Amino acid sequence: MKMLHTSVNVKDMGRSINFYTQKLGMKLESRREIRQNNAEIAFLSIEGSNHNIELTWWKDKADYAEGDQLDHIAFSVEDMDDFMGRMRSDGVEIAKEPYMLGTSRIAFIKDPNGIWIEIIERK
């Protein structure tokens, strides 16, 4: 398993991208709409690091309570079916069953605190 990115919920995508790129010197790698979740995401990187920040703007959400900003942590796996089978056997809560997004299979599980963990199998 390899850690990929950390997702942060934002209220204003443009303003947030500006902050991370102009103030922190990060590079905007990609920005796209996720119709399945009625959201928009943007990935930012920083030179010398393999870990990215994903900014997530939920279009239906008008405001956030403090603590809502961390959306999820993402890991890659070689075999989604094997991994999800082990999670089910171990009684881990499955938040979202695997689905295709571009060339990747995506699923979400929950940790004991209810934090979502994204699992990505890239083809």
Q: Please tell me whether residue 90 adopts helix, strand or coil conformation.
A: coil
| Annotated catalytic residue 93 | no
**Token pair of 81 as six digits:** 């079916």
Backbone φ, ψ for residue 98 (5° rounding): -55, 140
44 within 8 A of 55, measured Cβ to Cβ: yes
Considering 33, 97, 118, 121, which one is annotated as catalytic? 118
Nearest to 41 by CA among 62, 76, 65, 72: 72
118 within 8 A of 106, measured Cβ to Cβ: yes
Distances (CA, A) of 97 to 9, 30, 43, 88, 91: 22, 25, 23, 11, 14
Residues annotated catalytic, as ranges: 118
